[in-house]
Amino acid sequence: MTDSPVSRFPVPELHDLPDDIRTRILEVQEKSGFVPNVFLALAHRPAEFRAFFAYHDAIMDKSGNLTKAEREMIVVATSAPNQCQYCVVAHGAILRIRAKDPLIADQIATNYRKADITDRQKAMLDFALKVSREAYAVNDDDFAALERHGFDEEDVWDIAAISAFFGLSNRMANVTSMRPNPEFYGMGR
Question: Where does this chain bind a second copy (CB under 8 A)?
Answer: 9, 44-45, 47-48, 50-52, 54-55, 57-59, 62, 80, 82-85, 88-89, 92, 102-103, 106-107, 109-111, 113-115, 131-132, 135-139, 153, 156-157, 160-161, 163-165, 167-168, 170-172, 174-177, 179, 182, 185-186, 189
Task: Please state the closest distance from residue 22 (CB atom) to a second copy, in A.
Answer: 19
* Cβ-based nearer residue to a second copy, 30 or 42: 42
Neighbour-count burial for 174-186, b at 16+ CB within 10 Å, e otherwise? eebebbbbeebee
Q: What is the 3-state secondary structure (H, E, C) of 98-145?
A: HHCCCCHHHHHHHHHHHCCCCHHHHHHHHHHHHHHHHHHHCCHHHHHH
Please name which of 102, 69, 99, 74 lies closest in space to residue 88, comparing C-alpha atoms. Answer: 74
* Cβ-based nearer residue to a second copy, 32 or 183: 183
* Cβ-based nearer residue to a second copy, 4 or 30: 4
Task: Please state the closest distance from residue 164 (CB atom) to a second copy, in A.
Answer: 4
* Cβ-based nearer residue to a second copy, 30 or 33: 33
By three-state DSSP, how is residue 15 classified?
Answer: helix
